[in-house]
Structure 1
């Protein structure tokens, strides 16, 4: 149990049982805000676990909207009704007098409902591209709101609400592919901040020893959300694609109510914004479940960390203005972009492999769970830099081997080897994403942390933009897909060598505190 009065200075008891607080600077140890918060609510208890799990659930709904197009935008199978089809492999190659029909009801996919089977690849891929483009723009626009104005909780709530409402509107007002693509853009724009806010908010209420493990909770929820989609699609098999949007969007509204009433804002963020009373109240609420009576005399006004952000986008200005922060941000974004090429590109490339698409998609989705477990183990055992370098190299080697094996494909044994290498490569990339995000949290202080993590996530999405053209090129030459994937991710991990190690290091709250910590490390060396 944590000390019920940790934020008061030490006291001396006299012979009469009375006590007074020591003010002798030779005896008083000045604690950082990070240490004071840990002393007050403990490193990790039931209140922090409940808060972290509740906040991390947002990743589940985020994953559903990210991968929902795998089922709603899929091109259904077709069959020939008469005998005029001959040996044609595609509907658009059939002669005008040929009769054919979809294997599924017309409304089961946007392709069949709106007759897009012969549309250009640009039109067919427009909704998915619009979603990721919305993610990219939304990440840039919303990146600093959680640091400077709205806070972590409010932005998480706003993002989940906009994602849910846009999903419901998609089901009811999409009359053609253009309206549908616009709503997918709105959905992507709104959900861009969910993962960042959830990850930062969950990790800022626990001690530094538990940050990595708590961060993994969100990654597991994301994997479960991905895995839930095949089940939802199977239940609604033969029904309209719109029902999948309803099934995934309505529960998000209920989740928004839970966030509104039960999630607490980060005390760290409240402190740097000067909202000391709210920070104290949130700390009391978090500590209530494992401390029966608490009194608080928090840090003096002169000791409280203050954010130096003056407007909505000042966090990015601060990151660019500080040489050390810009160096870290550039390194993080380069690695995130390269990892994103593989993370988003590999699932899209499964259709290029001589393997059952549904089974391979399921195996890829399942591989995210052991990736989260690997992160859970590695995050507390190995240095962040060693973990990133090792995982990216393993992913790169296996991806290149996939291309080599495909060139020498001669039967089931080689097919099994190929999909096995692909799963290992994707699993390693997933684990690298998880560790990369946790590493980013630890590299930047509270006043700019959410902005930095947002930029890292947008770099991941930006990397995903390069996946589709590489997949298309790989239909004729396997190396242009998996070979390039391997080279890109295999090299990017080396950029971690220029960044500081953060395992076991206390989180800083201000830029000045981070700079003082770095100076202390250099002085110790």
Structure 2
């Protein structure tokens, strides 16, 4: 619990009474005790992940390979249950549902190459990737966390709404790219903003709120798809995009900007005002605390658009950390985004398998929520990635043994990947200071998304040979956690706000260990 005693009453014999307080100490003093105002802010910000989850996995249903049946099953008919649909006369088979239920059946893509079938989903993840690379620094520089969240969510929702008008797979792929471009920075902005609005005691739990919302967004898809079974795939985009637009209006009028970001940008009055509205210590303490705050480096206040990336690249310790967590993210993203898209390749009901996958994210989020204070970041990431890799490879081995066993292994693998993903994002935001935190986390998210860019093609290729999908997924995630061994542990550490502050912490830690 944060100390509510004013700075000026501290003992004169203590080091804190001599040195000016850091920004982190001031944040702790004002909002260290969690209250309803902070909870409402955290929930509202984190709910953006709900729409993020819907748009990320909506193609599981809209781009699904529909089931079909023979229309002339006489003894001499070439059509049977194991026939290759592409070699059958068109008048000998038919789709089980109306053609408009999937883009595959509506646009006659059943015999198209895996590249064409996977193009829309790959375009979506490519949009996410490019968006993260181009827009990541805006949340650390000119726009801030709140405005970045608003514009990203609005672009994603409008892109999804326009997708309804797609006349063919090529236009559809372009609009999915726009949809993904908007989505690219939502999760990053949301998790950084929500965790910077609370004290360190609740940082981990608040960060996990977004994962719960993402899970519920994912979980809503099979329900919406089942309700609209037989309807056009365009209906799913309407159901998911319109609520997202209304959510953007709520963000614009009711969400606060991060006081940390406001302060390092030189907007002290706005930072104090934000803290007063959420403070548990009283207005006087907030004002007095901020009047004494001193940053170890204030160069970031007038930073240009790409200064955050420049700082990450120029500092050897920052570049090393960024490289390692991005490599780890690449492997996790391959499984996290690829497995749900590959559920149609399993010998299991699609609606049920998607529901079970979405539900498996709940225990992953619960494990992170309740144990994040106790979990060592490094060992957790390594353990869960290895377990996920082993189970993913076993999915290929058991393909012809039992559909239920294959599904169980897939669920364990996906659960492990989700848990590693959750802990990995919390670990990343703890590794980097406020001035570059959003940019660093965005770069890691882009590494995750890069794995998603290749996943749809691997899934399409894996329809004939599971080694290309679940086999590749297993190897990728099984090896990705090992580089984390080179990074410092962050459990229980306070957040730094400048590069110099983080570098000094590293030097002190190294001196103690030596």
Same fold (TM over 0.5): yes
**Where do residues 74-473 of structure 1 align in structure 2 (5 Å cutoff)?**
74-82=64-72, 86-87=79-80, 89-95=83-89, 98-171=91-164, 173-287=165-279, 291=282, 296-300=287-291, 303-304=294-295, 306-308=298-300, 310-406=303-399, 409-410=400-401, 414-473=402-461
Structure ranking higher on relative contact order (CA contacts 8 Å, 6+ apart): 2
Q: CA deviation at 1:472?
A: 4.6
Q: Residues 5 and 296 of structure 1 are in contact (CA less than 8 Å); yes or no, is this contact kept in structure 2?
A: no
Q: Residues 132 and 446 of structure 2 are in contact (CA less than 8 Å); yes or no, is this contact kept in structure 1?
A: yes
Q: CA deviation at 1:295?
A: 5.9
Q: Residues 307 and 447 of structure 1 are in contact (CA less than 8 Å); yes or no, is this contact kept in structure 2?
A: no
Whole-Å separation in 2 of the counterparts to 1:491 and 1:76: 35
Whole-Å separation in 1 of the counterparts to 2:17 and 2:443: 43
Are the structure 2 counterparts of residues 508 and 390 from structure 1 closer, same or farther at C-alpha, using a change threshold of 3 Å? same
Aligned residues: 507
Pairing 1:55–2:54 present: no
Are the structure 2 counterparts of residues 276 and 293 from structure 1 closer, same or farther at C-alpha, using a change threshold of 3 Å? closer
Whole-Å separation in 1 of the counterparts to 2:17 and 2:121: 62
> What is residue 509 of structure 2 aligned with on the other side?
521
Whole-Å separation in 2 of the counterparts to 1:27 and 1:168: 57
> Secondary structure of 1:382's match?
coil
Q: Residues 31 and 199 of structure 2 are in contact (CA less than 8 Å); yes or no, is this contact kept in structure 1?
A: no
Q: CA deviation at 1:110?
A: 2.2
Q: CA deviation at 1:28?
A: 4.0
Whole-Å separation in 2 of the counterparts to 1:292 and 1:302: 16
Q: CA deviation at 1:236?
A: 1.8
> What is residue 73 of structure 1 aligned with on the other side?
63
Structure 2 unmatched ranges of 5 or more: none
Q: Residues 118 and 456 of structure 2 are in contact (CA less than 8 Å); yes or no, is this contact kept in structure 1?
A: no
Whole-Å separation in 1 of the counterparts to 2:467 and 2:166: 39
Q: Residues 115 and 457 of structure 2 are in contact (CA less than 8 Å); yes or no, is this contact kept in structure 1?
A: no
> Secondary structure of 1:75's match?
coil
Pairing 1:490–2:478 present: yes
Are the structure 2 counterparts of residues 106 and 144 from structure 1 closer, same or farther at C-alpha, using a change threshold of 3 Å? same
Deviations 1:242-290 (A, max 9, x none): 22111111111111111111110000000110110110111111227x8
> Secondary structure of 1:296's match?
helix
TM-score when normalising by structure 1 = 0.90
> What is residue 23 of structure 2 aligned with on the other side?
33
Q: Residues 62 and 222 of structure 1 are in contact (CA less than 8 Å); yes or no, is this contact kept in structure 2?
A: yes
> What is residue 46 of structure 1 aligned with on the other side?
36
> Secondary structure of 1:117's match?
coil
Structure 1 unmatched ranges of 5 or more: 13-21
Mean Cα deviation higher: 229-238 or 290-299: 290-299
Whole-Å separation in 2 of the counterparts to 1:204 and 1:141: 23
> Secondary structure of 1:299's match?
helix
Q: CA deviation at 1:85?
A: 5.4
Q: Aligned Cα RMSD in Å?
A: 2.5
Q: CA deviation at 1:398?
A: 1.9
Are the structure 2 counterparts of residues 520 and 255 from structure 1 closer, same or farther at C-alpha, using a change threshold of 3 Å? same
